[in-house]
Structure 1
Amino acid sequence: MKKILLLTVHPDENSLSHQFANIALDELKHKYDVEQINLYQDKEGDFGYLTFGADKIPTNDPELRAWREGKVKETDKFVVFFPIWFNDAPSKFKSWYENVFTAKFAYRYTKKGPEPLLKGKCFEFIATCDGPGFLYRR
């Protein structure tokens, strides 16, 4: 069965991002193996700052790192729900992504360039925004 991980990235449980994620969970759970993680509440969102490589992350203990990598390996599709803040995703999501999809786990460097190690994964982003339209047009 296809494994889907829903990531909600908003501190307010009543936000539109959470509402959309809950609707997706209700719709998808009948056909797929679905799990929902809130990066603002679960241990999944607790990170120090990435300074240089995964080995330098102060809060990245081996047990938690193995748990995160296991989640990523077993997941086929990631669906991320977040608000657009200052024309970008919240830093909580960027921190999660940079700390989980690291060299030696998600990719490795070769003489021919970077080589992906996690094949067959896909991301879908559901972004909400509450600012005037002209801020989001090119």
Structure 2
Amino acid sequence: MKETDHGGKILVVSAHPEPRSLNAALTAFAVDHLRAAGHEVRVSDLYAMKWKATVDADDFPDADAFSDTDDVPDLGADRRLHVMDASEEATLSGRLSPDIAAEQDKLRWSDAVILQFPMWWFSAPAILKGWIDRVFTSGFAYGPKLPPPYGPDAPLSGRRALLSVTYGAHERSFSDQGIHGRIEDVLHPLQHGLFRFTGMAPLRPFTVPEANALPAQRFAEAREAYGRRLDTLFTSEPVPFEAPGRG
């Protein structure tokens, strides 16, 4: 793990369109709590930034990694974008879109990453998925020219990663016997496919159930519980790998 004896460097990525939302309140609380504890904090508020969620050729200005499409006669001499190749070429040559490069710099700077979002349709909001799609490029977070994934030398190894998630259902709905299954399984694509794959150490997620209408008392309790989790950001054990449905 990266040295954090004198305070860590933490990137908080927030994804909710309403600045008065529970997610915005949790983001503000986390920032204040962490800074009060001596940590450095940077925030990427994706909606406030008007983050572009879709990958396209504009992400890779002047990239050379396009292939001929002679096998598709209707396209004639046009070129076809290969996203992985183009992103790798643009990343390694320093020609990524500036907004992507800025977020990658924040990740390089960080010792820990917190993703704050509401669960929508059993996943993260599209704007957060788009941040992942665009920022975790080949040549930066994975790729044949980088160390292999999962191991101690993976591109983003040494960083801790925490999901802070709100959802409207009752907590028992996301359990072994619940209608939605275990929350660990629902979040597996992020915990394993994003964090562990790129070398980050995923921590046990922090969740706030029944979040659509949270009374003041329950918000105070959630905030207190979140503070305790944030206090152990650099000391709690990462969750071990577990394939979905095997708990």
TM-score normalized with structure 2 length: 0.48
Answering whether residue 43 of structure 2 is matched by residue 36 of structure 1, we say yes
Find the counterpart in structure 1 of residue 12 from structure 2. 6
- Taking the aligned partners of 1:113 and 1:71, their CA distance within structure 2 comes to 22
Correspondent of 1:52 among 83, 107, 111: 83
Find the counterpart in structure 1 of residue 160 from structure 2. 122
Find the counterpart in structure 2 of residue 21 from structure 1. 27
Q: Tell me, which stretches of 5 or more residues in structure 1 are unaligned? A: none
Find the counterpart in structure 2 of residue 75 from structure 1. 110
Over the residues paired in the alignment, what is the CA RMSD in angstroms?
2.6
* Superposition deviation, residue 84 in structure 1: 0.6
Deviations along 1:96-128, one digit per CA (max 9) or x if unpaired, are 112111211112226x95472222122101100
Percent of aligned pairs with the same residue?
26
**Could you say if the C-alpha distance between residues 54 and 72 of structure 1 is closer, same or farther in structure 2, counting changes exceeding 3 Å?**
farther
Correspondent of 1:95 among 127, 130, 137: 130
* Superposition deviation, residue 35 in structure 1: 1.4
TM-score normalized with structure 1 length: 0.81
- Taking the aligned partners of 1:49 and 1:126, their CA distance within structure 2 comes to 25
User: Would you say how many aligned residue pairs link Structure 1 and Structure 2?
Assistant: 133
Contact 2:10 2:110 in 1 (8 A): yes
Query: Which entry has the higher C-alpha Rg, 1 or 2?
Result: 2
- Taking the aligned partners of 1:113 and 1:13, their CA distance within structure 2 comes to 39
**Could you say if the C-alpha distance between residues 25 and 113 of structure 1 is closer, same or farther in structure 2, counting changes exceeding 3 Å?**
closer
Contact 1:108 1:117 in 2 (8 A): no
Deviations along 1:51-100, one digit per CA (max 9) or x if unpaired, are 722736xxx95433332221111011111111011111111111111211
**Deviation >6 Å, runs of 4+:** none
Could you say which structure has the greater relative contact order, defined with CA pairs below 8 angstroms and 6 or more residues apart? 1
Find the counterpart in structure 1 of residue 143 from structure 2. 108
**Could you say if the C-alpha distance between residues 22 and 122 of structure 1 is closer, same or farther in structure 2, counting changes exceeding 3 Å?**
same
